[in-house]
A and B are shown apart, each in its own frame.
Chain A
Amino acid sequence: MYWKLFACLLICLGALRAAEVTAELSTDRVEAGQGALLALKIEGGSPEAHPQIPAVKGLIVNSRGQSQQMQIVNGKVSRSISYNYAVGSHEPGEYEVPSITVRVAGQDLKTPPMKLTVVPSASGAPAGMGQDDEQAAEVEDDRYGFLTFQPVIKDRKHVYPGEIAPVRIKAYFPAGASVQLNGTPRPEGSAFTLHNLTKEPDQSSEVLNGKRYLVVTWYGGLSATKAGSYPASFSLEGTVAVRDRSAKRHRSPFDDPFFGGSMMEDFFAPMVQKDVTLTTPDPDSVEVRELPAEGRPEDFSGAIGHFEFESVQVPSSLQTGEPCRIEARVKGGGNFALLKEPHPQPAGDWKVYDGSGDFMAGDAASFSGSKVFRYNAVPLVPGEREVKLAFSYFDPEAGEYRTVESAPSKVVIAGEATVPPAAAAAKEPAVPQSEGPQLAPLATDPGKIASYEPWSDRAWFYPAISGFAALAVALAGMGVWIRREEDVEKAARLAGDAAIRRALSTADQAALAGDGAGFFTAAREALRIRVAEQSGIKPEAVTLADLRQVDDEDVVGILKEADRVDYSGTAGDAGDLHAWKESLHRGLENLTKAVRAA
């Protein structure tokens, strides 16, 4: 359900600013073995996934990296993402780079197909694609800047897979150059990954070999992905514009020794702009060693670095079988993500549940810092004890595993010993084990065929849920309706009260007007309604005999007088009517009490 909300948000954002995707080949004709630069530019949005170049038989596509650009012109921010590829082939011919589809904000954007003509190599033999260009670029790159990589680990030439080694990467650009970076430094090849690179690099000025440079510095963590020996090199893409002093010498009007090497020289030298990929020159190889299997503690979880306890909180009074909250803060440097919570020792005396771990970075590269673990543990053995927490990690400097214990905390554990299943199993006679790690015993019963597919993936699941819910709503609605329908007595009683009020009002007005006939007709009507309510019949069906059965002096008197008025055609005077009115109210009140009581 969240993705739908997200999609709506993306669509709204997309509506505010439509995304555009463009693709451009640097040239439509290349020699076999050479590559044209394909630039895929996305403006006004971010692709939901890395764009893919459709496969074309014989066409070779090499990634040349990704870059992001942000420009602020007159307060208006525009952002674009570019993906660069070298496209070419070893086989001459006509190629078509098909339409590239990029999904941005839920919308598929397509580029038009592009033609690429690969002509036979002039040298006759196909060269490695892009190598010549790269070599030429390497020579020229120093003019536009260069990249250096300095591991913080100075005394060590090897690392371990998963270890995060803090590094400092510096990009040097000639002073006065105009620089636009297309992204951040990234490792070349697949042997290393870069983590937690600082988002806001430092900028400074340095003098190297008498030349002043603008220096951009990033900090991050380098991590090896596989064992072996690999060059640790980085690359950084950008556009650099520098003064072309060689061109100035032919064009400057200030061709005078007095102005030689002055600011005016630079001022009149033309700017030369170039898209460059800065790389680390002559990168040293870094040996990536496998973590030793020997001496690996059972609780080792992949943490590599240097860690130590900063604080430990264990309740001083505990009860066996009752969970308690344990908090431990571990500080140090390394891959904190793989550091698991320290457990109380001896492990067999405690049952520990998964908890939480909050990391607080202590530096820009998130290499050092502290991590607070909070979890629940249940003591299984009573007594007064000194509880220590322990965890294991691999020390890359020493090349060995280490287990760290906290300072002991005095704890009183009340209650009776609780034997955990593992301990109970340990007391049973030892079974001869095969060589190698101890897997659980083989299952001997194949069991029944099951299904990976949960019911929720079946087509009927959600309709069934909806059907049950709809049925429940319908039944509840029906119940409400039935209950209302079944309360007709109350409705009839209310209607009767209203009719009596109307009849009384008519009678009162008739009494005031001296209309005896009208008064007694209305009075008999009011009494008839109340009697009908008692008898459970319609008021029209109430007979005089029914009314006369009422044992009330006022009621009987009014009925007799009403009969007399009906039959004689004479009515009492206004004074009599006032008395009859009071009698009617009194009689009706008594009759109501009798009806309610019944």
Chain B
Amino acid sequence: MTKVLILLGVVGGLASARADERFDAANADFEAGRFGAAAQAYEQLLADGPRAAVLQNLGSAYFRQEDYGRAILAFERALLLDPGNPDLEANLKLARDEAAVFPVASGDGWNRFLAKLSRQQWSVLALGCAFALPLAAGAWVVFRKRRRVGVGAAACGIPAVGLLVLSLHALDAREGEEERAIVVAAPATVRISPFATADERASLANGREVKLGRLENGYFWITMDGGGTEGWVTAGEVGRVIPRAGDPGASR
């Protein structure tokens, strides 16, 4: 058993060292101005699994190629993994400015408060509070003879219930986030039906954010500006911010 663990550790260490080497090589390409090669190398690294740092550099590489849609997408994804990172937020703002994408301030104060934490952070908070509940109840039972401990356990349980409800509400309020997508084509053509000969309805500028609907015939149903623009775009013209395995041809 110990040998297996050691072997796994060695394999893991080698893989990590290999990833470091590839990352350094990609960074060297970037520093040398070979942004296309750097972006390709970062994409290959991401095939192993998403990393915030790789996505940040990938976004920068696309930015330098003036592919602002893919840059915005990469920075958005990096922020999912590392919410609140000031470098990522600054890069995202820069990319949006360059793409002339000015997001309208969304929601009221309550929704902005709910957006302070990522969905993963709300999930952790919800699970932590849920875990604390049986602990508090157990302490109340076990230490029933000691009044102070019992009252203390109940005092911990009540805010845990409140935070649990808040977290679940936040997760529910942000239920639609997995439908967010960024236009990576320049521009994307919106059609009235999901096939190439269908009439064009509008064109979407590179970097614009859309909401994805169902997938049909290799086309996504999209809505934008709260329903002001809607129609079908090919899956390759948009990239889902939270990638989904079932998206064919979409930018991953």
Contacts from A to B (Cβ < 8 Å): 1-2, 49-50, 52-53, 55, 60-63, 161-162, 190, 193, 195, 225-226, 291, 296, 300-302, 337-338, 340, 354, 356-357, 436-457, 461, 464-465, 468-469, 471-473, 475-476, 478-479, 482-483, 486
Contact = CB atoms under 8 A, between A and B. Distances in A.
Contact of B140 (A457, A476, A486): A476
B88 A454 contact: no
Nearest to B109: A356
A440 B88 contact: yes
Contacts of A453: 242
A27 to B, nearest CB: 20
B121 to A, nearest CB: 8
Contact of A472 (B80, B100, B124, B137): B137
B126 A190 contact: no
23 contacts: A61-B197, A162-B100, A354-B105, A437-B98, A440-B91, A442-B56, A444-B24, A445-B20, A446-B23, A447-B53, A448-B51, A449-B49, A450-B52, A454-B120, A456-B120, A461-B127, A468-B130, A469-B130, A472-B133, A472-B134, A473-B137, A476-B141, A483-B144
B50 A472 contact: no
B87 A441 contact: yes
B242 A63 contact: no
B166 interface: no
A356 B108 contact: yes
A456 B123 contact: yes
A337 B103 CA distance: 9
A449 B130 contact: no
A226 B137 contact: no
A353 to B, nearest CB: 10
Contacts of A436: 64
Given A225-B203, A469-B130, A483-B144, 17 more contacts: A1-B172, A195-B228, A338-B104, A438-B94, A439-B64, A443-B54, A443-B56, A446-B51, A447-B52, A448-B51, A452-B50, A456-B122, A465-B127, A475-B134, A475-B141, A476-B137, A479-B137
B105 A357 contact: yes
B193 A55 contact: yes
Contact of B201 (A2, A190, A472): A190
B127 A464 contact: yes
Contact of A482 (B27, B136, B141): B141
Contacts of A472: 133-134, 136-137, 157
A464 B77 contact: no
A403 to B, nearest CB: 16
Contacts of A356: 108-109
Contacts of B109: 356
Interface of B: 19-20, 23-24, 27, 30-31, 45, 48-54, 56-57, 60, 63-64, 77, 80-81, 86-88, 90-91, 94, 97-98, 100, 102, 104-105, 108-109, 112, 118-120, 122-124, 126-127, 130-131, 133-134, 136-138, 140-141, 144, 157, 164, 168, 171-172, 178, 187, 190, 192-195, 197-203, 205, 213, 216-217, 221, 228-232, 242-243
A63 B192 contact: yes
A476 B133 CA distance: 10
Contacts of A486: 144
Contacts of B131: 468
Given A461-B127, A476-B140, A468 B134 contact: yes
B100 A161 contact: yes
Contacts of B193: 52-53, 55, 61
Nearest to B48: A449
Given A301-B102, A440-B91, A468-B133, A445 B127 contact: no
A450 B144 contact: no
Contacts of B57: 442-443
Nearest to B112: A354
Contacts of A62: 192, 199
A479 B144 CA distance: 8
Contacts of B202: 190, 193, 225
Contacts of A2: 172
B102 to A, nearest CB: 3
A49 B220 CA distance: 13
B203 A450 contact: no
A61 B198 contact: yes
B81 A452 contact: yes
Contacts of B140: 475-476, 479
Given A439-B94, A440-B88, A63 B201 contact: yes
Contacts of A447: 51-54
B221 A478 contact: no
Contact of B30 (A337, A338, A438, A442): A442
Nearest to B216: A52
Nearest to B225: A193
Contacts of B54: 443, 446-447
B94 to A, nearest CB: 5
Given A49-B221, A472-B136, A472-B137, A440 B49 contact: no
Contacts of B126: 456, 465
